[in-house]
């Protein structure tokens, strides 16, 4: 058994699920910094077991990252990118060492709960403003940047390694700093490109890449330009305010999805 029974038994359903998964990755990375990309793994789990899904998706993540980094490179905030990448890679190393021992359901459940709390607090601020400006929030976050980076970016790297769901902790770290939407996307694309590159030797060591996974990845490659173009256009159409409203809404929706997956799984 190869784990690709859905491809043999229901090929139309298999490729439809793959299409949705890849579009989630490419649109998210090119337009919103990659957060929606966390949905790609849960989507693909409808037709593939977790390890095969990781093996199929990572090459697609990397190819999308290369393109998106080129598009948004001039907007990157270097300080945030360096801090996030350093702690994210440390989290990935922890994920590699603990891969066979981690209960990914508990990890995903905790990430989902925190994501919901953060998103609901953002909504509360819109309805009942506290009088604290976004600039004051960003200044307060800068005062605790190292502690927050250690917690959220380290957790992002760990979650990304285990289940490619590192988008939520990375969002929780970066969103309160209130960067322009282009700088937010540029910084997140560099971050995800770096930690995805760092996964390659670890995933290879764990045997997640096979001829079958690479074949499926290759078949899905033509979808990436479509998603990248769509995401780029969506970003251009939005103001910073709408971008942040949308990003926190996605954070809430993804968090609910992660909790559902953790409980139902």
Residues contacting 169, CB < 8 A, separation 6+: 111, 114, 152, 153, 155, 156, 159
CA 265 to CA 259: how far, in whole Å?
10
CA 39 to chain centre: 8
**What is the residue-wise DSSP string for 97-114?**
HHTTT--HHHHHHHHHHH
Output the CA torsion 151→193→46→94 (10° steps): -40
Measured between its terminal Cα atoms, the distance across the chain in Å is 22
pLDDT score of 1 more than 60:
no
DSSP states along 153-177: IHHHHHHHHHHS-THHHHHHHHGGG
Which of 165, 52, 20, 37 minimizes the C-alpha distance to 104?
Answer: 165
Whether the Cβ atoms of residue 174 and residue 184 lie closer than 8 Å to each other: yes
- In 11-102 the beta strands, taken as DSSP E runs, fall at none
pLDDT digits (tens, 9 = 90+) for 117-139: 778 887 887 787 766 667 787 88
3-state SS, residue 132: coil
* For residues 169-195, average pLDDT: 87
Using CA atoms, how far apart are residues 156 and 171, in angstroms rounded to an integer? 9
Over 80: is that where the pLDDT of 184 sits? yes
- Residue range 222-246, pLDDT digits in tens: 999 998 899 888 888 888 788 778 7
| Interval 40-89: pLDDT, tens | 777 787 788 777 888 888 888 888 888 888 888 888 899 999 999 999 99
């Amino acid at each position: 058994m190869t784990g690709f029974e859905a491809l043999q038994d229901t090929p139309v359903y298999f490729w439809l699920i793959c299409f949705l998964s890849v579009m989630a990755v490419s649109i998210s990375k090119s337009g919103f910094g990659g957060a929606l990309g966390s949905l790609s793994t849960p989507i693909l789990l409808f037709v593939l077991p977790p390890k095969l899904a990781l093996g199929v998706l990572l090459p697609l993540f990397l190819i999308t990252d290369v393109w998106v980094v080129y598009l948004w490179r001039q907007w990157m905030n270097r300080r945030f990118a360096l801090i996030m990448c350093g702690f994210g890679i440390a989290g990935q190393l922890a994920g590699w060492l603990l891969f066979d021992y981690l209960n990914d359901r508990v990890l995903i459940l905790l990430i989902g709960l925190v994501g919901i709390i953060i998103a609901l607090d953002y909504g509360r601020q819109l309805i009942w403003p506290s009088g604290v400006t976004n600039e004051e929030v960003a200044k307060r976050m800068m005062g605790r940047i190292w502690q927050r980076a250690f917690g959220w970016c380290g957790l992002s790297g760990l979650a990304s390694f285990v289940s490619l769901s590192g988008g939520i902790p990375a969002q929780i770290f970066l969103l309160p700093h209130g960067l322009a939407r282009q700088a937010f996307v540029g910084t997140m694309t560099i971050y995800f490109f770096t930690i995805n590159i760092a996964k390659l030797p670890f995933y290879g060591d764990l045997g997640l890449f096979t001829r079958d996974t690479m074949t499926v990845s290759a078949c899905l490659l033509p979808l990436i330009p479509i998603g990248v173009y769509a995401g780029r256009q969506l970003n251009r159409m939005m103001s910073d305010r709408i971008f942040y409203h949308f990003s926190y809404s996605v954070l809430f929706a993804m968090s609910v999805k992660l909790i559902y997956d953790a409980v139902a799984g």
